[in-house]
Homo-oligomer: A and B are copies of this chain.
Amino acid sequence: MKTVILAGGKGTRLWPLSREDYPKQFLKIINGESLIQRSVNMFSKLSEIYIITSKQLYPFFSYEVKGISLENVLQEPAARGTAPAIAYALSILEDDDYLFVPSDHMLDESFLELVKKVKPEEGEILLFGHKPEGPATGYGYIKKGQRINEVKLKASGFFEKPDLKEAEMFYKSGEYLWNMGMFYMKKKTAEIAFKRHLPEVYDVVFEKKAKGYEDLPEVSFDKGIVEKYDNVSVAEFTGLWKDMGSWESFYEVMKKDKDGNAVYGDVYALDSHGSLGISEGRLTVLYGVNDLAVISTRDVTFVIPRSLSEKTKEIVKALDGRKEAKRSPIMYRSWGYYIILEEGPRYKVKKLYIAPGKSLSYQMHFHRAEHWVVVRGTAKVTYDGKEVIVAENESFFVPMGKKHKIENPGKIPLEIIEVQTGEYLEEDDIVRF
């Protein structure tokens, strides 16, 4: 068997720390470890693992995730939901049993023991379900059917996030499980299921009959396959599991001080109780507040009662048109990362962090000139075909239209302050060679 971690999601539910271009799986707020790193560490104990992610997020893996070969990180052509992602991964991978798991869940290691006890039969799609701990409205529900063996039951029905009344009914009846969003099946089984229930995905991905992965409908594996498929079973998991879908869920798993406050970063919670304080690069002071979530980033301050934090996604939608709704001031790349320090009408100031041995691509901009000041390490700059060494406290200027490349040939990180000037300063003004 092999494990595939689904890691193509966007991060609007944990805004403003995560963004469309900086998803929550990479946040290190639980014991300094990201959710994706936890998943990689844990499932590596079970089997060889793969990750399926987007082109946009791929650089995070080389930079932020340890213990996985980049060859095992698959890049989806576009983000079209979990059904196309699963099909795409399987179309590349060899014949075997595959366990697909989300990247943004908290899960304890006893889950591995459960997986070892089950094995998907030919034609069977196996789900994992958790006994409801209350009438939660944030989960999908699976109705339990006939028991197959000690750990496995038939799945006899599927219900998307219910309203509270329905959720209470599900909870009281004892006949339902929370859908953990995991799928375990043979490659062959999935292929047949796609052919039958999502033929347009099958044709594009497996048969390569048609181009247009980008034009596929956005559809989840639950909706597109599982709910229509006849041979679905479920294994019941009783250990710790939590979908990290809101600030409230982070609060729940974080360490608390004696007043029940959970903080990450440079946060003082004084005379406050039950509050979550998260700060990135700034001093944050909470005084006399209860049960509040305060998230400070370089470009946003967000204040919401913890109990309402499920609303975050809607609030971000309401901020549509604001760059802060989607874009992060910190962006990871295969070579390191940059932080936008300041933006003005005809200039932008960035800090570039280039890891030892890494290099940016050979490139050119039509609309901007770049001034670099090396503040740490040593840069090798290729400019108009020639190589130059730029040491700490030295600067280099690249006019508009000139080819250039920065490398870090050294053993310590290279840090550069870049001042861009020009009329158009967006990321898409770049020609790579």
Chain A residues with a Cβ under 8 A of chain B: 16, 268, 270, 279, 282-289, 292, 294, 296, 298-305, 308, 311, 315, 318-319, 322, 324, 341-342, 344-347, 349, 351, 369, 371, 373, 375-376, 392-393, 395, 397, 415, 417, 419, 421-422
Contact = CB atoms under 8 A, between A and B. Distances in A.
Instruction: Classify the interface of chain A: helix, strand, loop or mixed.
Output: strand
Most chain B CB within a 10 A radius of its CB, from A303, A375, A376: A303
A315 B270 contact: yes
Nearest to A300: B283
A342 B351 contact: yes
A259 to B, nearest CB: 15
Nearest to A347: B375
B308 A287 contact: yes
Contacts of A279: 301
A160 to B, nearest CB: 25
A261 B301 CA distance: 17
A230 to B, nearest CB: 44
10 contacts: A268-B319, A270-B315, A284-B301, A284-B303, A285-B315, A289-B304, A289-B305, A294-B303, A346-B392, A349-B351
Given A282-B298, A373-B421, A395-B419, 17 more contacts: A270-B315, A283-B301, A284-B300, A284-B301, A285-B303, A286-B304, A289-B292, A289-B303, A289-B304, A292-B303, A294-B301, A341-B341, A344-B375, A347-B376, A371-B371, A371-B373, A375-B421
A170 to B, nearest CB: 27
B296 A301 contact: yes
Contact of A303 (B303, B347, B419): B303
Contacts of A285: 16, 300-303, 315, 319
Given A279-B301, A318-B270, A371 B395 contact: yes
B393 A421 contact: yes
A22 to B, nearest CB: 16
Contacts of A296: 296, 301
Nearest to A322: B283
Contacts of A419: 373, 375, 395, 417
Contacts of A319: 268, 283, 285
A298 B303 CA distance: 16
A304 B301 CA distance: 14
Nearest to A392: B421
Most chain B CB within a 10 A radius of its CB, from A292, A298, A369, A375: A375
Contacts of A392: 346, 421
